[in-house]
């Protein structure tokens, strides 16, 4: 861990976004993770995405569970609201917060242990309910914080640092999300910000549950030869099938690619995701095809990355339940708590 | 882009902007660290190795290092390098026992130096320890050249001069005072010397031949007038004084006039402020002493009434800047009343004592001198300082003295003068623990410290009250922390990089980028932060293992915080202290050290 704080001094050319903030204004405290941890690169990508979208940091809530990955919200958006839940319980907290105030942008950060073991049920139900949030699963194949035990995401045959092979089948976060009806499913790599940042931006703009599984090597416990979550292995086996480009609402879509090559999906806020298929018979809006495609590559030992699936007709939890759009905090007291007379009236209906 | 060769001592040397810009390549960051540790004597001696006169230069240096200083590009103001040099000099302990000494046994070679200015003194400083018998012929009764007779004592106390010149002459130099050389031919004909060095300076002030110039005894030439003040021949001046010209000599003239009792002093310049030759700090000091600076005036005549100087007439200009060029149009004339005029419009060289048949003379009646060896076309006769290429400054005179000494040594030992000793380098890791370094790597946002000046009334009372009081302990403690330790280099070992981006993400000033190879011009546009300063190098690694991309570092505003090295999991980045080894006469440095690169 580094003792000195990252100095405030910055490059003379450091740019400002639409609300007059620099990228440095979206940073948090200095990371206490191991030097070279993939999670830190994801933090940098999150900073970049929020800065590019010109979202005021104080309009964001960042929540997480337990793990190295779950520590990272401290390292970005220092002015955002934050909550560090018990292990695996972050999805329920976002659900509650979001129910009370849908005006805030929610980002949940979790790990493969936090999401796929102890928090398996929690994550599943947040997907199913389509809670409007960006869900970043920082996937290193191990429990980093507790010193490198295999997680449920570890591939069969992947070797531990001491050389033992994992004998169990992995749980694949993307396949899980697809089967549970996720409306936005992506996979990326901490070492590829060019791919990751646009995906995060699209995930933030997407109304509904945006699931992003990010392969994020653990330099200390899972970056050796024989690991299937190392920098080298991921670079060798990565197959990008859909390239996502985020286009802000105000901007017109220009023809950067050959027509027919790209699909444009409009999001609720008027922004676009421009999807460029790198594999001909792939359709990111077709859930079943996406599922089959991932499985097929997995059998060949490949890691499919890109924005794998998006449902243009996503209906988030509020839309499904028809709840009030105004944040509860903005409702007048009389409306929030109509009084004893109203309560009696309601109860009389059940007598 | 080609892989950067960091084994070439010039690459890392250029990163140390101040040291690279210093003509004598003084190891600035190292002496600043020594000051920070309170090791003033060590800081002084380190300075002395390169610049011979730290106490003198700590007050008067032209300081080309400061505009070059990286800190300027980071927070707008350079480290007060020069003032810190004075701190080392002022607080040093006794050093005489630590200085180089001349051996008892001489090497049998004799060298004559003409003039006892900084150029000749530097030659003597380098040759004496090698056993040469050095004789200096000096016109005046004391050594120092313009440093003594022209630089006023309120900027440079005499005692400082005496001490530091004494360190050189004290090695046993045979200085013949009041001994002008009238004929170089006669000196050579004695055959008493194996080599001769001409360090006679640029002793002539420029004339201004306009009507009335010779009709009054109140018109002086700046450098002569300053010398007359020094020798006590001039003790007063008119109340209203005009100084013509706006270089550093003009600044010393106007400030001297104030001390001689003038009340209304104007410095008159042809151009506008941006084009003034004087250093900004000298201008500031003059203005603090209530000297007026008048721009856009060109002298046309002296106004003499009844044999008495009463004013000077000027052409007035209106100036506009067009495409970065000054365009001036005449807008009438004006008479400025005055009692005395000082001409400070430049200096010329004069070599009345050199017979032209001895060697080739070229443009402007200057001897033809080799830019590397400082030898004239006559083998065995060398030049340096203002005598070589016209008026410059002390630090250039010192460096040229070092170079001439190397040549003289070669010449006397029968080695071709063009065979220069090579520079070398040392590179040592500063890592002391996982996140501990042997230098203070935390960026300190302190602002540049302001020098305190003696109050005006006290200043004007005498000619010799030193104006600058020097930094206090607190100011020194703050200023040393502003130095960015540019000599502690970010050293990259490409075989170790796993392309995790940690260094790129942590760098506070966005120096680093991993990018596919391309032409440098293209790469400069596509970095984490665009490389906007073409004068600063880009470091490029070779192709990296995993993706074949290159690690690029823009040296421009790196604050040497070491965070890249702290966050690198594989130690691909390391912070290594770089020392350039620059040989002086009689020294050889080792072969360039192995760097452990690639
Ligand atoms: C007013 C003024 C202020 C200056 N201020 C600064 C300053 O603040 N900082 C700075 O860096 N530089 C300053 N300079 C410039 C600096 O003083 C000179 O560049 C420097 O002194 C040159 O050194 P030198 O050894 O070449 O010659 P000089 O210093 O000129 O020394 C030459 C010596 O040779 C002697 N000599 C000449 N002819 C003969 C002969 N025939 N026989 C014997 N002896 C002879 C002279 O008497 C003199 O002692 C200033 C110059 C002037 C005029
Ligand atoms: C209820 C509970 N059970 C167990 C733990 C111990 N524990 C802390 S972190 C962790 C695993 C975290 O793994 P992951 O989410 O993958 O995070 P990583 O550190 O790998 O980023 C476990 C089991 C705990 N803190 N709380
Ligand atoms: S910051 Fe220090 S080392 Fe760097 S250029 Fe300035 S004085 Fe030199
Ligand atoms: S030392 Fe490293 S992290 Fe610090 S400014 Fe320089 S390149 Fe950036
Ligand atoms: S931190 Fe080290 S290993 Fe990671 S990219 Fe930078 S130099 Fe390479
Ligand atoms: Mg994990």
pLDDT in tens, B533-553: 999 999 999 999 999 999 999
Residue A252 has pLDDT above 70, yes or no: no
Q: For residue A9, is pLDDT > 60?
A: yes
Q: Which of B491, B492, B493, B499 to mutate to test the pocket of ligand 5 (most atoms within 8 A of CB)?
A: B499
What confidence tens digit (pLDDT) does each residue in B210-228 have?
999 999 999 999 999 999 9
Whole-Å CA distances, A273 to A52, A203, A223, A249, A283: 15, 10, 33, 10, 14
A292 domain residue, yes or no? yes
User: In the prediction, which pLDDT does A312 show?
Assistant: 87
What's the rounded mean pLDDT across residues A226-241? 93
How much of chain A exceeds pLDDT 90, in percent? 80
B100-203+349-412 and B206-346: identical CATH topology: yes
Cα–Cα distance for residue pair B409/B594, rounded to 1 Å? 29
What is the rounded distance in angstroms from the CA atom of residue B262 to the CA atom of residue B239? 4
Identify the band that residue B590 occupies on the pLDDT scale cut at 50, 70 and 90: low
Confidence category of residue A266, pLDDT binned at 50, 70, 90 = confident
Atom of ligand 5 nearest to the CA of B514: 5
Kindly state if the Cβ of B507 falls inside 6 Å of ligand 1: no
From CA A269, how far away is CA A247, in angstroms rounded? 11
* Residue A269: band (very low, low, confident or very high) from pLDDT cuts 50, 70, 90: confident
Pocket lining: B62 vs ligand 1, CB cutoff 6 Å: yes
- pLDDT category of residue A2 using cuts at 50, 70 and 90: confident
Contacts of B381 (CB under 8 A, 6+ apart): B184, B188, B195, B196, B197, B198, B358, B359, B375
Ligand 3 and B484: CB distance under 6 A: yes
E strand spans, B115-172: 133-137
The percent of residues above 90 in pLDDT, for chain B, comes to: 93
Distance between CA atoms of residues B213 and B444, nearest Å: 56
CA dihedral B66, B70, B71, B74 (to 10 degrees): 140
Architecture of domain B488-581: 2-Layer Sandwich (3.30)
Res A259: pLDDT: 41
A345, part of any domain: no
Q: Which two tokens stand for residue A326?
A: 């105004």
Q: Which of B29, B79, B14 is nearest to B577 (CA)?
A: B29
Of B74, B499, B508, the CB nearest to A191: B499
Please tell me the pTM assigned to this model. 0.91
Secondary structure string (H, E, C) spanning A114-153: HHHHHCHHHHHHHHHHCCCEEEEEEECCEECCCCCEECCC
Strands of B573-581's sheet, edge to edge? B424-429, B573-581, B488-492
Is residue A5, in this structure, part of any structural domain at all? no
Closest residue (by CA) to atom 4 of ligand 3? B486
Distances (CA, A) of B5 to B139, B391, B504, B542, B557: 50, 37, 22, 10, 20
DSSP 3-state of B261: coil
pLDDT attached to residue B592: 44
Q: Does the distance separating the beta carbons of B510 and A11 come in below 8 Å?
A: yes
Q: What does the pLDDT look like over B434-476, one tens digit per residue?
A: 889 999 999 999 999 999 999 999 999 989 999 999 999 999 9
Residues B33 and B40: their CA atoms lie apart, in Å, by 10
Pocket of ligand 4 (CB under 6 A): B 490, 506-509, 511-512, 553, 558-564
| A337 shares contact with chain B (CB less than 8 Å) | no
Q: Do the strands B174-176 and B133-137 form a parallel or antiparallel pair, or are they unpaired?
A: parallel
Q: What DSSP element (H or E) covers B576?
A: strand B573-581
Q: What is the mean pLDDT of residues B470-497?
A: 97
Does the pLDDT value for residue B480 go beyond 70?
A: yes
Q: Which residues pair with B347 in a beta bridge?
A: B205
Q: At B440, is the secondary structure helix, strand, or coil?
A: coil
Q: Counting beta carbons within 10 angstroms of the beta carbon of residue B77, is it exposed (0 to 12), middle (13 to 18) or buried (19 or more)?
A: middle
Kindly state whether residue A77 falls inside one of the protein's structural domains: yes
Q: How far is B529 from chain A (nearest CA, A)?
A: 7
Domain boundaries, chain B: 17-97+444-480, 100-203+349-412, 206-346, 488-581
Q: In whole numbers, what is the pLDDT of chain A averaged over residues?
A: 92
Tell me the pLDDT tens digit for each residue of B16-47.
999 999 999 999 999 999 999 999 999 999 99
What pLDDT sits at residue A250? 61
Which pLDDT score is estimated for A256? Answer: 46
Q: Quote the pLDDT of residue B594.
A: 47
CB A298 within 8 A of CB A172: yes
Residue-wise pLDDT for A45-92, tens only, equals 999 999 999 999 999 999 999 999 999 999 999 999 999 999 999 999
Contact B359, B381 (CB under 8 A): yes
Domain that holds residue A253: 23-322
Cβ(B200) – ligand 1 distance below 6 Å = yes
Q: Which chain B residues contact residue A219 at CB under 8 A?
A: 498, 500, 569
Give residue B421's pLDDT. 94
**What's the angle, vertex CA A109, arms to CA A273 and CA A310, rounded to 5?**
25
Q: In this model, does residue A219 exceed pLDDT 70? A: yes
Q: How far apart are the CA of A38 and the centre of ligand 6, in A? A: 11
3-state secondary structure of A222: coil
CB A138 within 8 A of CB A216: yes
Rounded CA separation A279/A242 (Å): 7
- pLDDT, one tens digit per residue, over A301-351 is 889 999 999 998 999 999 999 999 899 999 999 999 999 999 999 999 998
Separation of alpha carbons A209 and A229, rounded Å: 25
The CATH superfamily of B206-346 is: FAD/NAD(P)-binding domain (3.50.50.60)
Residue A293, domain CATH: 3.40.50.970
What the block records as the tokens of B419 is 């065979």
Q: Which pLDDT belongs to residue A74?
A: 98
Average pLDDT over residues B491-518: 97
Q: Which CATH superfamily is domain B100-203+349-412 in?
A: FAD/NAD(P)-binding domain (3.50.50.60)
Q: Does A36 reach chain B within 8 Å, measured CB to CB?
A: yes
Give me the number of domains chain A comprises.
1
> Is residue A51, in this structure, part of any structural domain at all?
yes
Task: State the nearest Cα–Cα gap between A7 and chain B, in angstroms.
Answer: 6
Furthest-apart CA atoms within chain B: distance in Å = 90
Structural contact between residues A210 and A107, judged by C-beta atoms closer than 8 angstroms: no
Do residues A243 and A195 make contact, with C-beta atoms less than 8 angstroms apart? yes
CA distance A244 to A184: 12
Q: Which two tokens stand for residue B178?
A: 């009041």
Whether A189 shows a pLDDT value over 80: the answer reads: yes
Alpha-carbon span B379 to B393, nearest angstrom:
26
Report the percentage of chain A scoring pLDDT > 70.
96
**B53-93 per-position pLDDT tens digit:** 999 999 999 999 999 999 999 999 999 999 999 999 999 99
Rounded CA Rg of chain A: 21
Distance, CA of B397 to CA of B404 (rounded, Å): 10
Strand order in the sheet with B292-294: B219-221, B340-343, B240-244, B264-268, B292-294
Ligand minimally distant from the alpha carbon of residue B139: 1
pLDDT band at B272 (very low <50, low <70, confident <90, very high): very high
CATH number belonging to domain B17-97+444-480: 1.10.1060.10
For ligand 4, atom 6, the nearest C-alpha belongs to: B558
Across chain B, mean pLDDT equals: 95
Give the E-state strand segments of chain A in sequence order: 60-64, 81-84, 105-111, 133-139, 142-143, 149-150, 184-189, 209-215, 238-247, 262-266, 272-277, 303-310
């Amino acid at each position: 861990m580094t003792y000195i704080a990252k100095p405030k001094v910055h490059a003379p050319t450091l740019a400002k976004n639409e609300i007059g903030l620099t990228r440095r204004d979206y940073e948090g405290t200095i990371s206490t993770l191991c030097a070279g941890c993939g999670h830190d690169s994801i933090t940098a990508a999150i900073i970049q995405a929020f800065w590019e979208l010109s979202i005021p940091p104080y309009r964001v809530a960042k929540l997480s569970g337990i793990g190295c990955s779950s520590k990272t919200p401290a390292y970005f958006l220092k002015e955002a609201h934050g909550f560090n839940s018990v292990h695996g319980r972050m999805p329920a907290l976002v659900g509650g917060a979001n129910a009370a105030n849908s005006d805030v942008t929610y980002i949940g950060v979790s790990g493969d242990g936090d999401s796929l073991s102890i928090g398996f049920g929690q994550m599943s139900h947040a997907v199913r309910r389509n809670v409007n949030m960006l869900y970043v699963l920082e996937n290193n194949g191990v429990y980093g914080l507790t010193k490198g035990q295999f997680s449920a995401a570890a591939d069969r045959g992947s070797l531990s640092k001491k050389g033992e092979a994992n004998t169990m089948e992995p749980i694949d976060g993307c396949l899980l999300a697809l089967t549970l009806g996720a409306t936005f499913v992506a996979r990326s790599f901490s070492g590829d910000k060019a791919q990751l940042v646009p995906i995060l931006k699209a995930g933030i703009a997407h109304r509904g549950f945006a699931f992003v599984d990010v392969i994020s090597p653990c330099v200390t416990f899972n970056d050796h030869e024989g690991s299937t979550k190392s920098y080298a292995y991921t670079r060798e086996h990565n197959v990008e099938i859909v390239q996502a480009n985020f286009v802000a609402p105000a901007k017109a879509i220009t023809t950067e690619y050959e027509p027919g090559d790209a699909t444009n999906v409009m999001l609720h806020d008027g922004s676009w995701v421009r999807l460029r298929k790198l594999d001909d018979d792939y359709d990111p809006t077709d859930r079943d095809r996406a599922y089959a495609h991932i499985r097929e590559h997995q059998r060949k030992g490949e890691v499919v990355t890109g924005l794998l699936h998006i449902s243009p007709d996503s209906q988030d939890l509020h839309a499904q339940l028809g709840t009030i759009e105004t944040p509860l905090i903005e409702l007048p007291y009389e409306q929030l708590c109509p009084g004893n007379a109203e309560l009696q009236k309601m109860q009389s209906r059940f007598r | 882009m080609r892989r950067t060769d960091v084994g070439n001592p010039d690459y890392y040397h250029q990163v140390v902007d101040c040291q690279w810009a210093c003509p004598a390549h003084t190891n600035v960051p190292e002496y600043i660290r020594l000051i920070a540790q309170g090791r003033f004597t060590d800081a002084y001696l380190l300075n002395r190795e390169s610049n011979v006169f730290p106490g003198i230069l700590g007050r008067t240096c032209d300081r080309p290092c400061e505009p070059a200083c990286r800190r300027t590009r980071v927070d707008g103001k350079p480290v007060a390098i020069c003032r810190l040099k004075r701190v080392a000099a002022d607080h040093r302990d006794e050093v005489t026992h630590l200085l180089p000494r001349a051996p008892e046994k001489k090497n049998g070679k004799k060298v004559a130096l003409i003039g006892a200015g900084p150029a000749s003194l530097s030659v003597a400083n380098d040759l004496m320890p090698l056993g040469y018998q050095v004789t200096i012929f000096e016109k005046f009764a004391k050594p120092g050249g313009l440093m003594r007779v022209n630089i006023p004592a309120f900027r440079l106390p005499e005692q400082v001069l005496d001490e530091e010149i004494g360190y050189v002459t004290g090695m046993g130099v045979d200085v013949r005072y009041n001994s002008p050389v009238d004929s170089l031919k006669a000196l050579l004909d004695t055959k008493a010397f194996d080599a001769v060095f001409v360090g006679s300076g640029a002793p002539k002030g420029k004339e201004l031949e306009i009507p009335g110039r010779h009709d009054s005894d109140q018109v002086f030439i700046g450098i002569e007038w300053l010398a007359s003040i020094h020798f006590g021949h001039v003790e007063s001046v008119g109340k209203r004084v005009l100084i013509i010209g706006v270089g550093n000599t003009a600044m010393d003239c106007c400030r001297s006039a104030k001390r001689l009792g003038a009340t209304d002093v104007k410095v008159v310049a042809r151009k506008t402020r941006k084009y003034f030759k004087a250093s900004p700090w000298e201008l500031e000091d003059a203005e603090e002493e209530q000297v007026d600076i008048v721009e856009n005036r060109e002298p046309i005549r002296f106004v003499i009434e009844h044999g008495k100087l009463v004013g000077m007439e000027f052409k007035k200009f209106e100036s506009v800047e067009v495409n970065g060029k000054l365009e001036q149009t005449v807008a009438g004339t004006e008479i400025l009343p005055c009692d005395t005029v000082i001409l400070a419009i430049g200096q010329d060289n004069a070599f009345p004592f050199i017979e032209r048949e001895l060697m080739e003379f070229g443009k402007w009646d200057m001897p033809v001198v080799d830019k590397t060896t400082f030898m004239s076309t006559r083998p065995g006769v060398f030049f340096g300082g203002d005598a070589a290429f016209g008026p410059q400054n002390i630090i250039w005179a010192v460096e040229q003295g070092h170079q001439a000494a190397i040549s003289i040594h070669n010449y006397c030992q029968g080695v071709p003068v063009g065979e220069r000793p090579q520079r070398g380098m040392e590179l040592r890791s500063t890592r002391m623990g996982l996140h501990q370094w042997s230098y203070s790597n935390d960026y300190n946002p302190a602002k540049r410290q302001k020098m305190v000046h003696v109050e005006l009334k006290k200043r004007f009372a005498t000619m010799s009250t030193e104006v600058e009081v020097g930094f206090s302990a607190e100011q020194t403690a703050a200023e040393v922390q502003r130095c960015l330790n540019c000599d502690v280099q970010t050293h990259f070992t490409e075989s170790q990089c796993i392309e995790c981006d940690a260094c790129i993400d942590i760098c506070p000033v966005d120096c680093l980028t991993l990018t596919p190879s391309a032409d440098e011009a293209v790469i400069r546009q596509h970095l984490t932060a665009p490389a906007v300063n073409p004068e600063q190098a880009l470091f490029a690694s070779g192709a990296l293992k995993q993706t074949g991309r290159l690690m690029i570092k823009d040296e421009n505003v790196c604050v040497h915080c070491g965070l890249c090295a702290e966050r690198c999991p594989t130690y691909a980045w390391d912070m290594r202290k770089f020392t350039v080894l620059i040989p002086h006469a009689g020294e050889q440095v080792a072969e360039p050290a192995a760097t452990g690169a690639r």
